[in-house]
Structure 1
């Protein structure tokens, strides 16, 4: 009888311990470097907060690297597995003869995310009003600057000849420079543009996103070697992103703001909602992860117009759409 009780106790112990030992392997950690922290990237934060990455067996370690050059350096030096940054950076790396090129595999935003902010109110703003003004632009060679110059040229303004163009201010310091009195106009991301408007430091007069058309503005990318060695994880990552993109498309700006607020603790929920609504209404959030040929060509046209296209790189060389297409067809 005693032996029987010992056997039962032992069996019960195994029943308790076995599920703990077989509840699944640890999630795969993916280190992501984002070029900045922005409401512009709302679908990424939705994917994190809604647990879409966890559903795919991934643990995402997100860090902000503040600037395209720093983000790409982090990726190339193996400080991150995936980078969220403008596609132009992958072209720059390829043109320098990289033996392990950076591949764009999932698009997050499909328009420029900046707004033209004037120091004074201009209810009847016309683009020609910029002529002979001091324009505080973005870092030379980056997507904001190139799109900005592209739009200005489309409006009949030569940035180098018709403006006093300032481009030597670090990305993170541009808002402070304008707030301290530098420039008549500035190109800003949200929520800074709306904050400045609320505080009377500036006034939004135009959107570069609505003027420039679809472009692969912010894209998830990884080194070719990493993608080849981690194909299953790249599919899982893209699937989680696509879930978030559909969620963002189907929910209101207020619902999205509630989800992503933890990433913007110093920003009022009402302001987050305003910014999300602005980006949604102008179609900035990509509805799916595919970076198509037309968007890639528009990117190259913008870079070429700014004199920043080092090489005419084909879409098939630096863009992988097979992963996204597979996910969307499931």
Structure 2
């Protein structure tokens, strides 16, 4: 075993890799960035020799110079309070997209520590969107740079701001194989009977036309009429859309990461564009359907982008041709 590691856990998808890394070290500090459910989950495990610290995003307005200056001062204070004295440490972060707070700390830490960019999904999200020139985005990039004293890219509105990790000579490690999860950490509902697991987040509702949203509701009603319990799992930070709360027979707490669900409890898994569909499909833990092809999106390009992402991240193991008649024979 190695001695110590410091990890920036930036998203729910990072938890699987965070726990896998923790097994290899005697001591660790995990900084959980902005997602309280991730913090709650890690704390609930009572991991020995692991300190878990929650750090919310620093809020500011692009249109308020005072808030921008205040955010800059808060970054300086966080650096002085938590990170300034690190030297010679092994430090891992997972993503260069959106999370400008982690980028601000990692860029400084790179001067005297061994930083590893542990990429397990950025290469797929980067396929979404197209590069384009935007003066507005460039101005925002410069504001982020002023706040953080860190370089960012502004090629695409998707994944913006994009941390320019290469400028800091940070090593990138591409992770292809998803780790397995110990059986004792898996979460499953205690209720008996046939169950369908449905992944949905509030943002997905906004992607659909009004007619298609009603069609989605009818699909779920039909599933329930066939005698299945509807188990709903929402977004790890935003939770489940209010439209599905009354319809759900069981709601999985948002503090439970989707990778840590016991998929043997369900007859099949269903969703629209959720990245949570990819893990059980790629690992072949259950039959997994996406309704992306079956529903109508307001933005066709976005619909295609979601489908491509799901295919890539699941190794083409998510099914899009859900046939209700055959499924319920």
TM-score (norm. length: structure 2): 0.28
More RCO (CA 8 Å, sep 6+): 1
TM-score (norm. length: structure 1): 0.28
